[in-house]
Amino acid sequence: MSKPLAWERDGRDWPHRALSRFVQAGPLTWHVQEMGEGPVIVLLHGTGAATHSWRQLMPLLAEDHRVIAVDLPGHGFTRGRPSGGLTLPGMAAAVTALLAALELQPDKLIGHSAGAAIALHMAHSGFEVPEVVGLNAALSPFPGFFAPLFQGLARALVLNPLVPRLFAASARTSGDTGRFLIRSTGSHIDAEGVRCYALLLGNAHHCRGALEMMAGWDLAGLQRDLPKVKARVRLIHGAKDAAVPVSSVEQAARLIPHVQLSVLAGLGHLAHEERADLVAEAIMAGAPVHA
C-alpha cells in the first residue's frame, strides 16, 4: 500500500521549509507557507503542483506584500478531503474556508493554471477580492468532442486504484521528469523544481488527487460565469505554453468585463518558474503587454 507524502521524510528539503506550518480548517489540515508584510496576496498552484512552484516568485512578491501559499486539497502535504470533493466548487469553498480560519482578506488572489479557475470561481461566488491574477490560466474546456472523452477517461483512471500507483511508479523510475515537463508545458525550469515535481509525481496519493481534480473540473460552467466576475482580472500567459495555448486565454479574456492580458515571449506553461522576475513585474504592472 502506497503512503501519502510525509512532511518529516519527504519535506526535509522542501523549498522555504522554515516558513511552513499546518493549519486545520474544517476536515482539512493544510500545508501553508507565509512570508513578508503588507497587503495580502494568496497563491493557488495548478493541478499536480504544490507550494514549491512559488519558490522563486514568492520572495519577490514578499518584498512589499504578505504572501501566503498553500498546497491544495489532494496535493502535496495537505491532508483531508473537502466536503464538495476535488471539484471546482469544492476546492473554491475549501480555500474560502481556510482564508476565513486564517482571518485573511486578500488584496490579490493569484492562481496558476487550474488555480486561476479556483480564484475566479471564488470571485464569482461572492468572495470579496479586488483583483484576481491568472498565470497561464486554464479557463477553457477541451474543445468539441474531446471534453467528455477527457473527463470520462480521468474518472475511469480515478476509479481504478492501480492507475495512480502505476503512474507514480513510472514517474519514479523513468528519470525523465525534466523532459516530461518540457514536452507537456514548454517550460525549462531549474533542478530544484524538477526534483520537487519528481517527488510529487512519484507519489500515488498525489497523483490520485491530481487525477480526481481533473475528473471533476467543470470549465464550461466557469466560462458561463466569467462575464459576471466583478473583480479586476489580470491574465499573464507564456507565449510558448504547450498546455494552454494563448488563443484559449484570449477567448476567456473576451468574456471577462475588467481584464488585462499580458503575453510573455519565450516562456511556457510554468512561466513563473522560468522567469519569476518577469512575471512579478507583469503582476505589478498597470497596462497590458503583448510581447
Half-sphere exposure for 106 (CA within 13 Å, toward CB): 26
Nearest alpha-carbon partner for 124 in 113, 135, 116, 136? 116
* Residue 219, pLDDT score: 86
First to last CA, the chain: 49
Q: State how far the Cα of 98 lies from the Cα of 33, in Å rounded to an integer.
A: 13
Cell of 227: 462575464
pLDDT at 160 > cutoff 60 = no
> Using one digit for the tens of pLDDT, what is the confidence trace for 227-236?
999 999 999 9
* Residue 144, pLDDT score: 39
Beta carbons of 113 and 136 less than 8 angstroms apart: yes
Instruction: Tell me the mean pLDDT in the region 88-110.
Output: 97
Q: State how far the Cα of 115 lies from the Cα of 105, in Å rounded to an integer.
A: 18
In this prediction the pTM is 0.91
> Using one digit for the tens of pLDDT, what is the confidence trace for 234-279?
999 999 999 899 999 999 999 999 999 999 999 999 999 999 999 9
Q: State how far the Cα of 65 lies from the Cα of 171, in Å rounded to an integer.
A: 36
Nearest alpha-carbon partner for 187 in 16, 56, 24, 31? 56
Percent of the chain at pLDDT > 90 equals 71
Q: State how far the Cα of 226 lies from the Cα of 139, in Å rounded to an integer.
A: 9
Q: State how far the Cα of 51 lies from the Cα of 115, in Å rounded to an integer.
A: 12
Q: Domain 7-284 maps to which CATH number in 3.40.47.40, 1.20.1250.20, 3.50.30.30, 3.40.50.1820?
A: 3.40.50.1820
Cell of 288: 497590458
* Residue 201, pLDDT score: 86
Average pLDDT over all residues of the chain: 88
> Using one digit for the tens of pLDDT, what is the confidence trace for 209-222?
888 888 778 888 89
